């Protein structure tokens, strides 16, 4: 729940910043050159950063679970049922 509130606050701050800075800017990205509103450029940059962060977190957790299941990380070897770690 705290994560949703944090993301909502970030989006609101970026939206306010973007609406107050709405002049057109020239954007150059590799071979593409175009003009767009600064509001759109900033908003899309923040959204793409959030999406990339969530995807990176997802894949890091996924690989961590695979390593733990295989017992490759120290202290995460699978324990057989009925046995304790001691």
Mean pLDDT, residues 35-47 taken together: 86
Residue-level pLDDT at 86: 56
Residue-level pLDDT at 35: 94
Cβ neighbours of residue 69 under 8 Å, at least 6 residues apart?
78
Looking at 7-16, 47-56, 62-71, which range is the least confident one?
Answer: 62-71
Mean pLDDT, residues 22-39 taken together: 90
Band of residue 78 on the pLDDT scale cut at 50, 70, 90: low
- Answer yes or no: is pLDDT of 18 > 80: no
Q: Is the pTM of this model over 0.95?
A: no
């Amino acid at each position: 729940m705290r994560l949703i509130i944090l993301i909502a606050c970030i989006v609101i701050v970026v939206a306010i910043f973007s609406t107050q800075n709405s002049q057109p800017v020239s954007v150059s990205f590799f071979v593409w050159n175009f003009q767009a509103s600064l509001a759109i450029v900033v908003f899309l940059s923040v959204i793409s950063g959030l999406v990339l962060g969530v995807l990176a977190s997802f894949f890091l957790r996924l690989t961590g679970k695979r390593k733990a299941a295989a017992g490759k990380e120290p202290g995460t070897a699978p324990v057989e049922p009925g046995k304790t770690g001691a």
